[in-house]
Amino acid sequence: MSETVAALDEYLERTATERLEEYQAFLRIPSISALSAHTGDMHIAADWLADKLRDIGIEHVEVSPTAGHPIVYGDWLHAEGAPTVLVYGHYDVQPVDPLDLWVRPPFEPQVENGRMYARGSADDKGQVHMHLWSARAWFETAGRLPLNVRYVFEGEEESGSIHFEEWVAANRDRLTADVAVISDTGFFEGNIPAICIGLRGLMYGQIDVTGPTLDLHSGGFGGNVQNPANALATIIAGLKTPEGVIDVPGFYDEVRPITPQDHAELALLPFDAEGFRDRIGVPALFGEPGLLPVERQGARPTLDINGIWGGFEGEGAKTIIPAHAHAKLSCRLVADMDPQRTYERVRDRIKALAPAGVNVEFTLIHTGMWSLTPTDHPATRAAAAAIQDVFGREPLYERGGGSIPAAATFASLLGLPVVLLGFANPDCQAHAPNESMILNNYERGIRTIARYWEALAAGLG
């Protein structure tokens, strides 16, 4: 072990309590980007982050406005001759409903069973916080970082990153770097260290079915009126076959086929289908026939209803034909699908499935691009070496099923290779009640990032 690494470890060991308290303070800010009632909290969280960056020694720290929530920027560029890394994370979190299923209140973080429980503990405030402390450990022990760093922390990732691309385009000049590092992914099933090498894109929209101007008595009118809720059910039922194949003309046209080599690599992953099924509590896994679960998760597109409402939902019975019914629908997209084209195809299919007697609209809410990252890039290899060093085993390479629009933005607008170096435990319950981060992942992750900077400085220079 080098002297630097020993000093970093010793510093991190000594400051563990202070770090956890600060982590909790960050998690107490309810930075829910989707809900306008939390706009003030978004600013509080952004300012909190900016203050921490300044305290550490990061320069040019700025809470940069966008048409939505602000982006926190800061840099430290004094490692002459060394590479520059662009670090991305997000300080916004998902809404917390259903609140009654949380064992501990979502914004009152608590440590139990070796985990930090709170909304955002893993996705992604915990991982942003890990970056702060990796940098802090370097400044406190060596007085400097071994490479140049630019931090970009977004406040709208969970809401589709709608203003991010515009901000990156406008700030291109101060975003020059050699590699982008994003810590917003997780380990493989069983909490096995992993580097993510693919993310899916997203097309998110809303179906609105409208019928009569008001709810109608289902006795007086039933039989003469198309029911919007029934119509919505007809439409949704037509979007997929009972086998789970998406029934939208042209939907799969651009999907990049899984090659025999992709299949062979994915088949080697130690995926425990029974354990996975048990953990999520379903009687059986379900998906496109003839594919591995890891292929369905990372290399094939999806079409899912995320929410559905309309008509009477109260206690007891109410005999009405509802005036309208709605659903939120999203598709996860893989290479080489185009989000806008997918929207148009799904919209046309919805219109074609709409029965007579109602009006049907499908409105686009947001899109995000898929991305694939190289396994053989020196920056990826250095990340793997840092993981091996700290976690004692080589990471697996997995394709994440989720989306991080920023990854594609960095690749397309800035031409950067992207390393997805995430540490969330697979059972972190991101987006669900009782989100948690395994503190061992958090602590070792901080040490991994700190060593990664040293490896990158040596390996990319």
Bridging pattern class, strands 194-199 and 110-112: unpaired
Q: Does 123 participate in binding Zn ion (rule CB under 5 A)? A: yes
Q: What element of type H or E holds 76?
A: strand 71-76
Query: Between residues 199 and 246, which has the closer beta carbon with respect to ligand BES?
Result: 199
Which sign does the torsion angle of CA 453, 456, 458, 461 carry?
Answer: negative
Q: Does 417 participate in binding ligand BES (rule CB under 6 A)? A: no
CB of 212 to ligand BES, least distance (A): 34
Q: Does the bond joining 124 to the residue before it have cis omega, within 30 degrees of 0?
A: yes
Instruction: Say which entry of Zn ion, ligand BES, none residue 184 contacts (CB below 5 to 8 A, set by partner kind).
Output: ligand BES
Q: Which stretch binds ligand BES (CB under 6 A): 9-17, 78-86, 355-363, 395-403?
A: 395-403
Among 41, 157, 189, 443, binds ligand BES (CB under 6 A): 157
Q: Does 123 participate in binding ligand BES (rule CB under 6 A)? A: yes
Q: Does 185 participate in binding ligand BES (rule CB under 6 A)? A: yes
Q: Does 403 participate in binding ligand BES (rule CB under 6 A)? A: yes
CB of 430 to ligand BES, least distance (A): 6
CB 387 within 8 A of CB 238: no
Please give the C-alpha separations between residue 37 and each of 26, 30, 347, 359, in angstroms, as whole numbers: 19, 10, 31, 32
Between residue 195 and residue 234, which ones bind ligand BES under the rule CB under 6 A? 196, 199, 202
Q: Does 160 participate in binding ligand BES (rule CB under 6 A)? A: yes
| Rounded distance between C-alpha atoms, residue 327 and residue 307, angstroms | 5
Place of tokens 């074609």: 352
CB 209 within 8 A of CB 232: yes
Q: Which stretch binds Zn ion (CB under 5 A): 117-125, 138-146, 347-355, 375-383?
A: 117-125
Give the binding-site size for ligand BES (rule: CB under 6 A).
Answer: 17
Amino acid at site 82: A
Q: Does 154 participate in binding Zn ion (rule CB under 5 A)? A: no
CB of 281 to Zn ion, least distance (A): 21
| Rounded distance between C-alpha atoms, residue 396 and residue 211, angstroms | 52
List of residues 6+ apart from 439 with CB closer than 8 A: 20, 111, 114, 115, 116
Binding site for ligand BES (CB under 6 A): 123-124, 157-158, 160, 184-185, 196, 199, 202, 368, 400-405
* Footprint on this chain of Zn ion (rule: CB under 5 A): 123
